[in-house]
Structures are given as C-alpha cells and as structure tokens.
Amino acid sequence: MLYLEVLRNLGLFVVLPILITTIIWQKLLLKPTSRIVYSILTWIVLWVTWKLLGLSENVTVSSARFVIEGILLYGTMIVAFIALLDFIILLVLPQPTTQRSIPTRFASGVSSDIKVKLSNPAAFSINVKFHDGLPEEAVCALLPWAGIIPSRGFQEIAYPLEFNERGDTYIEPSYVQYSTKLAFWTRTVRTGEADETKVYPNYEPIVRYALLTMESRPEQMGIVTKNRVGMSKEFHQLRDYQLGDMLSQIDWKATSKHRSLISRDYQEQKDQNVILAIDCGRRMRAMEGDVPQFDHCLNAMLLLSYVALRQGDHVGILSFGGQEKWLPPVKGVQSMTTLLNHMYDYKTSNTPSDFSEATERLLTRQRRRSLVIVLTNVRGEDGSELIEPLRKLRQKHVVMVANLREKNVMDSYAKDIHNLDDALTLASSQIYLNERTKMMRQLESHGISTVDETAQKLPVALANRYLSARESV
C-alpha cells in the first residue's frame, strides 16, 4: 500500500505539475523558477519524513509527525496560493517594451555601441533578463543583461556589438524574460522591431591615410609619393623661371613675349583609369588569423582606391570567381561612398576562378587603356590558366597582379628545425615558395608587374606600386 501511495503522490505532485508546466510554457511562455522547484523538493522531503515517522509509535516522534503534517497541509496551500497569484499577475501584467538605437553601418571586426531602452508600463517593478535578437555572426560578450526596472519607469542599456562578416544583416526583435518580486514564474516575450544594418569592410587604414595626407605626411604609413615634376606629359601652367629648372621646361615663345625667362610647369597625369579585379573564388577563402584573405584584399582595395581618387584617377571594380559584378570607373574622393556601397557585400564562393572569362568581360566593358590590378592568390599550378588570359589583357591594358602571400607558410618556412616533421614542413614550404616565385617571374617576363606580400603589408605595397606604375598607363 505504501508503494502505491508513493506512486500516486509522485504522479499527483511531481509528474502532473511537470506536464502542466510544459503545456503552460508552450502556450503562454511561462515557466517556473527555482523557487517552485525547491518548493516541490522540500514537499517531497517532508512527505517522506512524515511517512517514515508514521512507522514509529514513540510519542516524541508522533509530535514531530503532527508538526510535519501541518506544514504539509498549510504550507502547501500557502505556497500554491502564492504561485497561483504570481501566475495570474504575469498573465495580466503589461509586457515590457524595448526601443533599439543601432548604427546604420558597421565596420567588419570593429565594435560599435547599441543602445536599448527597456520600459516597464506596469504599476510595480519587475526583474528583467534581456537578450537581443542577434544573428550568428555577431559577437557580444556583455549579453544577456539582467536588472530591475522600476514601476512605470525605464532602463537604458548599451552594449558593444561586432560583426565578423560583411554584407546586409538583420537584428531580430529582442528577447525579454521578466518576473515579479514573488519570482515563482518567469515569462519570455519578444518585443521591439527588427532592424537592418550594413557591415562594411574596415576602412580604418583609409581614414588614417586621409588624416596623414591632410598633414602632408603620408610617408608615415610607408606610402612614398614621388616628386616627378617635369617628367610627366601633362601641362599645368606657366610660371617664372626658377633656379634648377631644366632647359626643356623653358617656354621660349612666352620668354620672348615677356622678356624674362618663363618655364612650363607640369603636373602628374590625371583622369587615368584604374580597374581593380578581385578574385572571389575558393582560393580566397583561406584564413589569415581570424580574418579571411579576401577581407584583407578588400582593405587593400579601399586604400588603393582612395589614393587613386586623390590622384585624380578613375577607379572601377570587376569581381569574378562566383560573384560577377561590375562598377564602371568613378572619379573624385567623394566617390569612396559609391565604392563602399558597391563592395561591402562581396562574398567568396566555392567555385574555381575563371581568369579567361574574367578577361573577356573586362575587355568588353573597359575599352579605354587602363591600369588593371588583379587581386588574387595564385600558386605554381595556376600558370597555364593565368598567364595566357593576362597576356591577352596586356595587349590592351597595363596589368599588375597583387598576390597575397600566406603568413602561415612563411612562418613554417622560418621555423627552427628540431625533428623530422619540422624538416619535412620546411622542405614542402620551400617547394611551394619556389613554385610561386617561378610563377611571378613568368608573369614579369610577359610584361606583367607583380606584388607578392602578406596581408599586413599588401595595402601599402600595392599603393606604392600603383604610384610607380602610373607613368606606364
């Protein structure tokens, strides 16, 4: 009989509450807190103790059994009443609301603050646990937030948010879990509006370069602006002769007219076209630290675009290798916004890159002679697929290949040898680098200039090579 009574009480006071709680959670999004769990466990312990004491006929034990029986009866009623009251209050309680303030754009890998206003329209304070509806690619270490919101009051919170992937992204409505001071039940609701934002490449190097150029000190970034006055073919103005001017600069007709030496002043050629062809194929999916090689190439493109636009050149963009887009050449530093809006959602694909198809597209779209810079990650086995298309492109344009060198390969090559595995790693790294070097020399033998640098050095190296190559266009 005791066994059957145990089963009956377990079903009545344990299994049934669990089933009811599950149904309530699915339908009303209410779930019990640890207070209800501890209350049930306490009831079970008291009930078992009460039954065990019932087996003894000792007077003292009988008194203790009477006390426990009273606790079971009246305590259960009181706790059940409070739990039911808390349950009803949460059902009729006005739900908290949220208002989110989010930047319209983010820079990849750079955190920005999100501000959220939590409002409580209820007549008494509530305990709140807040978590925003962030996508998987978002990084935030300060959520969830927990605190108390006063009656008919609000709480403003701010947390840093970082995205590691570029493109359009959405932040869903927020999750708010709240409870009363009784804290027997909690309710979870979704509140607020969904927000859309854009994640752009990190253009911090561009901003740094802009600040340095305003101070006329771009060399602090390693970018060497060469003074080639008199070597360019573009006439700028006439001016008085200065000591050190070459005889070829003197304008004899203006000199005879003014009866004083007049020199021609030249400036760097402008209005040239720079076409950046970015490889979006599977080779660019390799990681360089925590960032894909592709993102490093985008950062280099942004810096180079800014330098070229400041030089008065036009900049266009062609993507190939799974994502085929084209931006006709634009001019002026103000066009950086156009470039950013065009490039921010570039993604790599698992498809191999077709250099022949990319060459045909570029020759069709860009007929004016231009400086074409191909940003990719080529290897020794790519020679047959790469050289012939670039040779064809070289007949019409000036071609440069910016090849991103893997840092982990260079680290393996520089690593000290302690055992056989280290020696094999060094040998394979040497073979790999020799093949790449051979490939670069083959390209240069066909009149194609190359830049082969790691991700950290590529932006500045590419900008310097562009400044050197402008005279060839």
Q: State which of 49, 68, 92 marks the end of a domain.
A: 92
- Alpha-carbon distance of 231 to 471, in angstroms, equals 9
Q: Let me know if 227 is exposed, middle or buried by CB neighbors in 10 A (0-12, 13-18, 19+).
A: exposed
Share of the chain above pLDDT 90, in %: 5
What digits encode the pLDDT tens for the residues 278-322?
988 887 877 776 677 788 888 888 888 888 888 888 999 999 887
121 contacts 97 by C-beta, under 8 angstroms:
yes
The residue length of the chain stands at 473
Is the omega angle on the peptide bond into residue 135 within 30 degrees of 0, that is, cis?
Answer: no
What digits encode the pLDDT tens for the residues 350-400?
888 888 888 999 998 888 888 999 988 877 666 667 888 888 888 888 889
230 located within any domain: no
| Residues 439, 311 within the same domain | yes
> In the sheet where 112-120 sits, what is the strand order?
97-101, 112-120, 153-163, 138-139
Q: Where are the alpha helices (DSSP H) in 29-158?
A: 34-53, 59-70, 76-92
Q: Span 445-468, mean pLDDT?
A: 82
| Residues 336, 440 within the same domain | yes
305 contacts 333 by C-beta, under 8 angstroms:
no
Q: Span 125-134, mean pLDDT?
A: 89
Extract the tokens encoding 422.
Answer: 């280290």
Give me the half-sphere count of Cα atoms (radius 13 Å) on the Cβ side of residue 298. Answer: 29
Residue 275, beta-bridge partner list: 316, 372
| Residues 314, 451 within the same domain | yes
- Alpha-carbon distance of 250 to 238, in angstroms, equals 9
- Alpha-carbon distance of 247 to 230, in angstroms, equals 11
| Residues 88, 102 within the same domain | no
Q: pTM to 2 decimals?
A: 0.66
| Residues 394, 316 within the same domain | yes
Q: Where are the alpha helices (DSSP H) in 106-185?
A: none
Q: Span 96-111, mean pLDDT?
A: 84
Query: What pLDDT score was predicted for residue 22?
Result: 65
| Residues 307, 427 within the same domain | yes
Query: DSSP class of residue 250?
Result: B
Any idea what the CATH number is for the domain that residue 381 is in?
3.40.50.410
- Alpha-carbon distance of 252 to 248, in angstroms, equals 10
254 located within any domain: no
- Alpha-carbon distance of 250 to 240, in angstroms, equals 9
- Alpha-carbon distance of 310 to 268, in angstroms, equals 12
Query: What pLDDT score was predicted for residue 315?
Result: 92
pLDDT higher at 126 or 253: 126
What digits encode the pLDDT tens for the residues 162-208?
887 788 888 899 999 888 888 888 888 888 888 888 888 776 655 56
Q: Where are the alpha helices (DSSP H) in 228-354?
A: 252-258, 293-310, 336-343
393 contacts 275 by C-beta, under 8 angstroms:
no
CB contact set of 301 (below 8 Å; sequence gap of 6+):
276, 278, 317, 343, 375
| Residues 51, 15 within the same domain | yes
pLDDT, mean over the chain: 77
Query: What pLDDT score was predicted for residue 318?
Result: 92
- Alpha-carbon distance of 459 to 301, in angstroms, equals 7
Query: What pLDDT score was predicted for residue 341?
Result: 85
User: Where in the sequence is the domain holding 59, given as residue range(s)?
Assistant: 2-92
- Alpha-carbon distance of 352 to 321, in angstroms, equals 6
What digits encode the pLDDT tens for the residues 27-49?
666 777 777 777 777 777 766 66
Decide: helix, strand or coil at residue 458.
helix
Query: What pLDDT score was predicted for residue 470?
Result: 66
What domain count does the chain have?
3
Cα–Cα–Cα angle for 233, 234, 235, rounded to 5 degrees? 115
Query: What pLDDT score was predicted for residue 276?
Result: 92
47 located within any domain: yes
pLDDT higher at 424 or 140: 140
Query: What pLDDT score was predicted for residue 407?
Result: 67
113 contacts 157 by C-beta, under 8 angstroms:
no
244 located within any domain: no
389 located within any domain: yes
For residue 215, pLDDT beyond 50 = no
- Alpha-carbon distance of 35 to 241, in angstroms, equals 93
Decide: helix, strand or coil at residue 8.
helix
One-letter amino acid for residue 440 of the chain: M
The number of beta carbons lying within 10 Å of the beta carbon of residue 376 is: 24
64 located within any domain: yes
| Residues 467, 444 within the same domain | yes
Cα separations in angstroms, 353 against 61, 98, 250, 376, 442 = 86, 46, 52, 10, 20
Cα separations in angstroms, 164 against 76, 131, 139, 268, 339 = 53, 20, 8, 39, 20
207 located within any domain: no
- Alpha-carbon distance of 358 to 364, in angstroms, equals 10
Q: State which of 36, 64, 92 marks the end of a domain.
A: 92
One-letter amino acid for residue 95 of the chain: Q
What digits encode the pLDDT tens for the residues 1-36?
555 555 565 555 566 666 666 666 566 667 777 777
pLDDT higher at 65 or 338: 338
| Residues 417, 300 within the same domain | yes
Query: What pLDDT score was predicted for residue 220?
Result: 47
Q: Span 250-263, mean pLDDT?
A: 75
352 contacts 282 by C-beta, under 8 angstroms:
yes
Query: What pLDDT score was predicted for residue 454?
Result: 79
263 located within any domain: no
pLDDT band at 472 (very low <50, low <70, confident <90, very high): low
Place of tokens 């007929």: 367
309 contacts 270 by C-beta, under 8 angstroms:
no
Q: State which of 200, 228, 260 marks the end of a domain.
A: 200
| Residues 73, 104 within the same domain | no
- Alpha-carbon distance of 239 to 263, in angstroms, equals 5
| Residues 30, 110 within the same domain | no
Any idea what the CATH number is for the domain that residue 139 is in?
2.60.40.10
| Residues 439, 320 within the same domain | yes
Cα–Cα–Cα angle for 438, 442, 446, rounded to 5 degrees? 165
Residue 191, beta-bridge partner list: 174
